[in-house]
Amino acid sequence: MSLIALGTVALDNLITPKGKHDNLLGGSGSHFAICARHFTKVSLVSVIGKDFPNKHMKFFQKSGIDTTSIMECDGETFAWTGEYKKEDLNTAITHSTTLGVIENYSPQVAAEQRNIPNVFLANFDPDVQLEFLKLMKNPKFVGMDTMNLWIDIKNKSVKKLMKKVHLLIVNDGEAKQLTGESNLHRAAKALRKMGPPMVVVKKGENGVLFYSDDHHFAFSAFPVEKVVDPTGAGDSFAGGIMGYLSKTGRVTQKNLHQAILYATTLSSYNVEGFGMAKTAPLTMAKINERLRDLKKHIMPVV
């Protein structure tokens, strides 16, 4: 079944120990969609400025992503300049952020897209996420992501949204920030009590933890030897989970295992290149090849 996602479309300027690149296509919605499209049809809801390069829009469309609900407004496209240091590739240092057209953005969804059954709220202002969700008609399955900034400055909105979704995806730091728990298992359990029936906690190179009332399990990460650019890894991960679950149309323990393994596979490709250099040309054959390799090296802890 098809999938619709709200998320940012951005221009990224990145510095890592492997080099420097400007005006890369980025944003939570972009990274999410480019990975989810391998499993199902994806519609992306976002906003861009007049300065957004046409080549990026053509790239979305060539990749099979429905751009009908990407608005073009007067002003600058959301842009982020960040850096990763060699000693800590898990933490981005923000040098500058240009909010541009997302500052006053009110999402619009085409009438024919409002009945799409699977909905994902990629990292965005939680008030905008709530506004978007209200536009959708009886969605079957809703997932969400957030970040430390929104947990800090819009905590009430984040927690309100958590009560309306089926799946919450956060990293370990965000899980601890939301719950005040230092132990990740207790944090995941506390997040479940805050609303979402299913909780996924990303632990970077240490893997992922899944928690629900019925079962919980953990997987290790794919061993990436050469990390080039971590930007968008979490969004690629979310694209793998939501894309696969949307394809199957059934949330079973077996499908959750497979979805998280696909998510882990896609995020491992993401970090091996700048922007979408590694995820954009991927085929299912290449994804499945790495998935098989991943399965050889890990065992689930159920």
pLDDT by residue (tens digit) across 11-40? 999 999 999 999 999 999 999 999 999 999
Distances (CA, A) of 123 to 20, 48, 185, 274: 24, 16, 23, 20
| pLDDT-above-70 percentage for the chain | 98
Other CB atoms within 10 Å distance of the CB of residue 170: 28
Distances (CA, A) of 31 to 24, 104, 198, 233, 258: 11, 22, 22, 8, 20
Edge-to-edge strand ranges of the sheet holding 10-16: 19-26, 10-16, 79-85, 88-98
| Prediction pTM value | 0.96
Residue in 202, 175, 200 with CA at minimum distance from that of residue 190: 175
Confidence band, pLDDT 50/70/90 cuts, at residue 299: low
pLDDT at 128 over 80: yes
Indicate the domain borders of the chain.
3-297
What's the CATH superfamily of 3-297?
A: Ribokinase (3.40.1190.20)
Distances (CA, A) of 195 to 70, 147, 158, 173, 191: 30, 17, 11, 19, 7
Query: The tokens of 33 are what?
Result: 């969609």
Confidence band, pLDDT 50/70/90 cuts, at residue 302: very low
Section 157-180 average pLDDT? 97
Q: Between 155-162 and 126-135, two packed helices, what is the crossing angle to 10 degrees?
A: 30
